[in-house]
Amino acid sequence: MRGILTALIVLTLLFFAFITGVGLGVILSKEDALSRGPRVAVLRIEGVILDPNSYLESLSKIKKDESIKALVLRIDSPGGAVGPSQEIYREVQKISETKPVVASLGSIGASGGYYIACAAKKILANPGTITGSIGVVAQFVNYEELLRWAKIDVETVKSGEFKDVGSPFREMTEEEKKYIQGLIDNVHSQFKLAVAKGRGIELKDINKIADGRIFTGEQARDLGLIDDFGTLSDAIRIAANMGGIKEKEPDVVYYPKPKTRLIDYLLSSFIGDISSYTSLPIKGFGLFYLVDIIQ
């Protein structure tokens, strides 16, 4: 009897937890519908940028929402993979054609994080913010000596000279190194052009500082890489003013939206924990706009 009573209590608690979760999800999903005055959107870009999907989805919603008059990019990232960083950059550029965009750099907005910031009309940072790192990195692991010690042979059959470039089972040839360097130089040029265009700086002046060096916010301001010092609140206020919002305290909506269903939250937490171990840049070949000292 006691076991049945305990089971009923547990089932009742689970039922109410489920109902509460559903109700909270409905309330949060109705947030936009309840507030349709002029607003500022804040898109938080945090951590190493490997998967751009949540950011792209958020940017799509921001672009379509006519009540959102301005966008603030709150960037706290050392950068990430080249492709995802460029995708986010391009989508921000599209939004900037119709809505003012202001970037607010937190503790770090470097490499790919800074690349994205260059799509904004104005960039704010703190004097001690780590930024810059205009460069590209590709890293490879070589297990050749370890395999030789373990007396393990690896046979590779390939269709072309460069098909297994960067293989961890052997040292790269000089030709392969030149090939990879060519890729890096090309992607580096793309980065420099984005900075020159976004910041209105001559390419020859960008070349002088685009060697991967990081800068403090104070140094970055002197170099023209940011516009001024300011907090997230300052960025919101400036963006609101640029967007024609007259209210002293503008309504703010944050993206990406938090998970509203329990299963979504649990899955995202689990996947996030797994990805922190399996999605490291060192896992396979890739080009990264990433601050090397953060890895």
79: left (phi over 0), alpha (psi -120 to 50) or beta: left
Which structure tokens are listed for 65?
A: 């929402």
Active-site residue flag, 163? yes
Nearest Cα to Cα of residue 73 among 254, 257, 249: 254
Catalytic residue among 158, 163, 178, 283: 163
Neighbours of 176 (CB within 10 A): 18
* From 58, 77, 85, 111, active-site residue: 111
Taking alpha carbons only, the member of 19, 119, 31, 49 closest to residue 289 is: 49
Cβ atoms of 112 and 80 closer than 8 Å = yes
CA distance 77 to 49: 7
Query: What gap in Å lies between CA 11 and CA 15, rounded to an integer?
Result: 6
Residues noted as catalytic: 111, 163
